[in-house]
Every structure is written in structure tokens, then in C-alpha cells.
Amino acid sequence: MPDRKVLVPGPDHPITIEPNPNRIVVTAGGRTIADTTKALTLREANYPAVAYIPREDVDVSALERTDHQTYCPYKGESAYYSITGGGENAIWTYDEPYDAVAEIKGHMAFYPDRVDRIEETPK
């Protein structure tokens, strides 16, 4: 990996991570891809909140890791997964997130427009 600029969240670019109080179910291709009551919600600056779902609550047998990667100076290098039979690069994860967001290690996030549905309901 080339030298990358690493930034720390602060007042000009806040990032918070907290337990999500809801059950989250993600469906794609007519099947459940994730079902959890242990998600984390990451809020970053002015971006929409993102639910990060523990990998153990994701049906990884329905996923294929792709070569696609992106970089965030606050979180690190992200890896992507496609859902077998559709949903190209629908999921991202930070295998080695920066210390400021270490809690999201082992979690996966879903693009809402690349899955059928992300449903949140009270536990």
C-alpha cells in the first residue's frame, strides 16, 4: 500500500460509533444476507449514518470478495464484496481500520441501493 495520509476525527470531521438499538435484516435476491441485533452505527461528519453488522451475523457464503478497494483517511483501506447473483460491490469492510474507528473491525456495511432492503425494527 502506498503512503497514505492518515487523519484523526475531530471537531472539523467528527466520527462517532455506538451500538444500534434495533434489529437489522438485509435481504438481496430474495434471501436474507444479514440478520443482527448487534450492529454498530457509525456517524461521520455530514454523511448519512451507516450500520456496521458483525461478520458473524452475515451469510458470508452468499458473498464473493472483489478486487475493488477504496481508501478513507479516517478509517483506512476498505475491501468490497459482491452478493452472489447480484449486488456488485454491495458490501464494504475495513479489515484493519485505523485506531480511531477500531470498533468496526470484523463488521460489514451494505449499500442500500445494491441490496433489496435494509430493514431496522426495534428489538
Superfamily of domain 15-122: Domain of unknown function (DUF427) (2.170.150.40)
Please tell me the predicted confidence (pLDDT) of residue 2. Answer: 63
Please tell me the predicted confidence (pLDDT) of residue 54. Answer: 98
CB 107 within 8 A of CB 40: yes
Please tell me the predicted confidence (pLDDT) of residue 3. Answer: 80
CB 27 within 8 A of CB 117: yes
Reading the chain (123 residues) residue by residue, the pLDDT tens digits are: 568 899 999 999 999 999 999 999 999 999 999 999 999 999 999 999 999 999 999 999 999 999 999 999 999 999 999 999 878 999 999 999 999 999 999 999 999 999 999 999 998
Task: Name the residue ranges covered by the structural domains of the chain.
Answer: 15-122
